[in-house]
Structure 1
Amino acid sequence: MKDFTRSQLALRNGAEREEIWIAYQGVIYDVTNSRLWKDGKHYEHWAGQDLTEELADAPHDTKVFEKLHVIGRLIV
């Protein structure tokens, strides 16, 4: 699995580049083709960042990540 920095993840926010990525628990997921992440936004969440701490406020659990394509690993 390829490693990416927070800076590299931040560029995949739907505005800087076409790719739209999010991270959760150290894993980076591609949400580019998700209708729920149009333009890098999903309700009050923004792409290009680690959403681990924000999941507690979400109406869904971690199973949502099972449907997403894994891009790599977020390194700190």
Structure 2
Amino acid sequence: MEEELPFYTRSQLALRNGQDKPQIWVALNGVIYDVTESRLWKNGTHYEHWAGQDLTEELADAPHTELVFLRFKKIGQIR
């Protein structure tokens, strides 16, 4: 059984943008993922996307599915 993930506010998520704090986090479907180690998220940007945000609505325009997030660690949930 998967452990319960802590809750973070959208403001806390926004600080993990690779600029304000060293962590780079993004959210998808209410789950926050740590993409800090991804070379594609260097400096908190990935193409026209910015870290520290919920990318659920933007995924529809991505060339990949949400399965790409399986390679990243789940950090928490959006409150």
TM-score normalised by structure 2 residue count? 0.94
Contiguous gaps of at least 5 residues in structure 1: none
CA RMSD of aligned residues (A): 0.4
Counterpart among 3, 7, 30 of residue 3 in structure 1: 7
Q: Percent identity?
A: 65
Q: How does 1:1-76 map to 2 (within 5 A)?
A: 1-75=5-79
TM-score normalised by structure 1 residue count? 0.97
**Bigger Rg, structure 1 or 2:** 2
- After TM superposition, the runs of 4+ consecutive aligned structure 1 residues lying more than 2 A away are none
Tell me, in whole angstroms, the C-alpha distance in 2 between the residues paired with 1:46 and 1:40: 6
CA drift at 1:62: 1.0
